[in-house]
């Protein structure tokens, strides 16, 4: 068994340990995001089992890291507001990981040309990123949240430089999209060398 294949079971065990820790500490608000991360960790396996989509272990590992960074560390522990680079790092890594997902989807058909496979992987990654940004916006509108930092009053100044012309939400969305595209572009180049 390759060492990278151990990442997923260890990740799930650590998720369960975190849930137990917060149960003991009676910090119930923290448990929801960890359970969501745990449940979503099964998505690559379900894609393989039900759709025949085999996602490589490296893309799966990056996917799990992005889930943990975004849902638990970012949202529950407030890393988005603590570290200016947190959001951009997550979007960069999601660009890398989702390129592997897209490549796995197109590789179901073995007759696909390499360039078609990589182009699909890149566009699939960017598309998922855009959907993520739309879901953030809808969530903000429905729950009066501020995931995109477009509310006028917010303690975080991480996403809006003093000399910005556009509102912080636009700056945040554009920076996130650019980071995702850079990550997807780098991953596409790496996949080009591997395939």
Low-confidence stretches of the chain (pLDDT < 50) are 161, 163-165
Position 73 scores a pLDDT of: 94
Using DSSP, state whether 112 is helix, strand or coil: coil
Position 164 scores a pLDDT of: 45
The span from the CA of 160 to the CA of 177, in Å, is: 15
CA 55 to chain centre: 15
The pLDDT tens digits for 3-39 are 788 999 999 999 999 999 999 999 988 898 899 999 9
Position 155 scores a pLDDT of: 52
40: how many CB neighbours lie within 10 A of its CB? Answer: 14
The answer to whether 133 touches 148, Cβ cutoff 8 Å, is yes
Contacts of 9 (CB under 8 A, 6+ apart): none
The span from the CA of 145 to the CA of 113, in Å, is: 44
The span from the CA of 131 to the CA of 31, in Å, is: 25
Burial profile 144-164: b = 16 or more Cβ within 10 angstroms, e = fewer: eebbbbbeeeeeeebbbeeee
């Amino acid at each position: 068994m390759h060492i990278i294949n151990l990442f997923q079971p260890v990740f799930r065990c650590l998720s369960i340990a975190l849930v137990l820790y917060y149960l003991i500490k009676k910090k119930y608000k923290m448990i929801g995001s960890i359970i969501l991360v745990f449940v979503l960790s099964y998505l690559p396996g379900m894609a393989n089992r039900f759709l025949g989509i085999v996602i490589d272990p490296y893309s799966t590992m990056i996917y799990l890291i992005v889930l943990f960074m975004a849902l638990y560390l970012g949202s529950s522990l407030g890393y988005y507001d603590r570290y200016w680079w947190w959001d951009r790092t997550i979007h960069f890594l999601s660009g890398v990981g989702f390129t592997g997902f897209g490549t796995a989807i197109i590789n179901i058909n073995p007759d696909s040309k390499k360039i078609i496979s990589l182009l699909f992987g890149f566009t699939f990654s960017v598309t998922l990123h855009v959907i993520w940004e739309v879901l953030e916006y809808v969530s903000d509108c429905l729950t009066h949240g501020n995931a995109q930092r477009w509310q006028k009053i917010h303690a975080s100044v991480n996403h809006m430089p003093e000399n910005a012309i556009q509102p912080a939400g636009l700056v945040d969305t554009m920076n996130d999209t650019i980071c995702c595209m850079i990550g997807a572009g780098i991953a596409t180049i790496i996949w080009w060398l591997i395939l």
